[in-house]
Structure formats: structure tokens, C-alpha cells
Amino acid sequence: MDTCNKVSKYLMKAGYACNVIGVPKTIDNDLYGTDHCPGYGSAAKYVATTLMELNLDAKVYDKGQVAVVEIMGRNAGWLTAAAALANYKGLGADLIYLPEVPFSVEKFLSDVKRVMDNNGGKCIACVSEGIRDKDGVFIVESLSSAKAKDNFGHTQLGGLAIQLADLINRTYGVKVRGIEFSLMQRCGAHLASGTDIEEAFNAGRKAVQAACAGKTDKMVVFERDMSSGKYKCKYKLISVELAANTEKKVPLEWITPDGTGLTQDYIDYALPLIQGSSKSPLEDGLPKFASLKKVKVEKK
């Protein structure tokens, strides 16, 4: 949206008749001025569904084990928050940590210990890749550099989940698995939300209609309409400048006081966004993706 804003301002200044309408899209859901972003509902559905399945897998054994799951989100914890949707269905994470709350490694270790003690040694903890300590230092960096020092300057491999899993293992001597949802959480189209697909389509249409009607320097936004008692999405335009360079984070009042969970407000916000399924066609039991083909246009 920042680029959109710059291109739009330049074209206006240059007096070049080209209309610019920003269409939001990011699984990070961190754009200012819109209730939510196309892409978020689908990625949230992937996170919640996968976590429910992991929960059943991890808890089927008699023996205790710990899993640390790393979810995308550098500055805003929206996607990691989707773990709470799995909790809502009774098969979620015991602990959820977002970048909105400063992360303490000591508190994390004691949180994990408390859950293990109460659950026969079992614990699932979800962490945003962007969790930071009270000084704003990324946890993945502070853990890596602490170990790098031990290792005479060699950088330690592995992302946050593996670093935290290793830390728990070294502290409590228990079996821990570090799991990263990696690129799968942003490309898992087979698990897309029907609502998300529909709204994304509508956002694109609204943008084209606005541009064709002579509007420029705007962004399409979603407004939540609950006036009928049911979720409804309205499409509006705002100045693209408003959305550029402002990140929307998870409201602190939606995070439980102990910093390890989400309140019902988040569930109420997110649940409508993951409804419905992708109706994408299959071929040979596998996805059949649309592709744009070059078509020869004959001159008349």
C-alpha cells in the first residue's frame, strides 16, 4: 500500500491519467483501515485446522511430549492468534505467544513446566516468529547469539521453534519437537476459506469498478456489518495514504492477562472469516490450478 500510495501520488503530480486503487491482501492481516485482509481467513483456517490435527497426534501417546509450533507474523500476531480457534474447538494449544506482548524466556519455561505438570508431561506451545523481549530484541536472535557465543562464533542453525524446543529439552530433559508451519500456512490453497475467496473476489471487482468510474488514490477496505445479528462484509474506499505504513496489531485487550491466550473477542472476530470451503477443482485427486495462457489475438 505504501508503493501504491507513491505510484498514485507520482501519477497525479505528473498529470498522467491513470487511476490507482489499492486492493488489500496479506495473510498477516496487519493493514490499517480495514476490518481484515483477503488471505487472512484462509491462512487462519489452515493454522486452526492443522493445530487441531497436531493436537490429536501429539496427545494420543501415553508418554508426555512437548511441541513448539512456530507461526508466521513478524510484528503482528494475527496468524498465531488463529491457534485460539483450535482451542475454541477443544483441540488447540496450551500456550499462545504473540509479538504484541514482550516475551520472557524465563516465564515461557515456567509456563511450559506448569502445563506439563498438569497434563501428564504434555504441552503444545504456539509462538509468533516475531516474539521479542522487553527491549525489542527478537527471541530467535538472542537465543542464536547466546549459543553462538558458546560455540566460538559459529551461528546456530534453526528457526525459533527449534531453538525453543532445544531450550526446553536442555532445561527439563523432556522430548520436544519444534514444528514450523513454514510456507505451507500461506500457500495451503486446498484449505482456503470460502468466505475469504468470495471477499477477495469482491475486493478486486470493487477496485476495478472504482478505477473505471474515475476514482484514484484509494484503497478498498472491508467493513464488518453486524446490524442484522449476522456477519456481513461491506466494501468501501478510503484514502490509500491512510493504509500506507501503519501496522494494525492484535488489540492488547484481546490477549488474556497472563499473555498466553486470546479472549472470546478474538474468536468472535475471526470465526466468520474461516467459514466455507474452497470449491477448487481436483484432477487425478490433486489440485487443478488455474493458469493464464497466452492467446493470439487476430487482427481484423
Does residue 56 interact with its own copies by CB under 8 A? yes
Q: Specify the residue, 121 or 276, whose C-beta has the smaller distance to its own copies.
A: 276
Using the rule CB under 8 A, give the single segment among 4-12, 125-133, 178-186, 207-215 that binds its own copies: 178-186
Does residue 57 interact with its own copies by CB under 8 A? yes
How many whole angstroms from its chain centre is CA 130?
Answer: 11
- Contacts of 34-39 with C-beta under 8 Å, sequence gap 24+, read 34/219, 34/220, 34/221, 34/222, 34/223, 34/243, 35/221, 35/222, 35/223, 35/224, 35/233, 36/222, 36/224, 36/269, 36/273, 37/222, 38/196, 38/199, 38/200, 38/203, 39/186, 39/196, 39/200
Using the rule CB under 8 A, give the single segment among 8-16, 24-32, 156-164, 212-220 that binds its own copies: 156-164
Q: Which of 1, 21, 26, 45 binds its own copies (CB under 8 A)?
A: 45
Residue type, 22: G
C-alpha torsion 68→71→73→76, nearest 10: -70
Q: Specify the residue, 80 or 163, whose C-beta has the smaller distance to its own copies.
A: 163
Q: Specify the residue, 22 or 188, whose C-beta has the smaller distance to its own copies.
A: 188
Does residue 180 interact with its own copies by CB under 8 A? yes
Question: Degrees (nearest 5) of the Cα angle 80, 82, 83?
Answer: 75
Verify whether residue 35 is a known catalytic residue.
no
Using the rule CB under 8 A, give the single segment among 5-13, 32-40, 106-114, 162-170 that binds its own copies: 162-170
Tell me, residue by residue from 276 to 295, as one string, x for binding to its own copies by CB under 8 A and - for no binding: xx----xxxxxx-x------
Q: Which of 6, 149, 154, 236 binds its own copies (CB under 8 A)?
A: 154
Measured CA to CA in angstroms, residue 112 lies from 108, 131, 157, 264, 285 at distances of 6, 16, 23, 23, 41
| Residues of this chain that bind its own copies (CB under 8 A) | 45, 48-50, 52-54, 56-58, 67, 85-86, 88-89, 91, 147, 150-152, 154, 156-158, 162-163, 166, 177, 179-180, 182-184, 186-191, 193, 271, 274-277, 282-287, 289
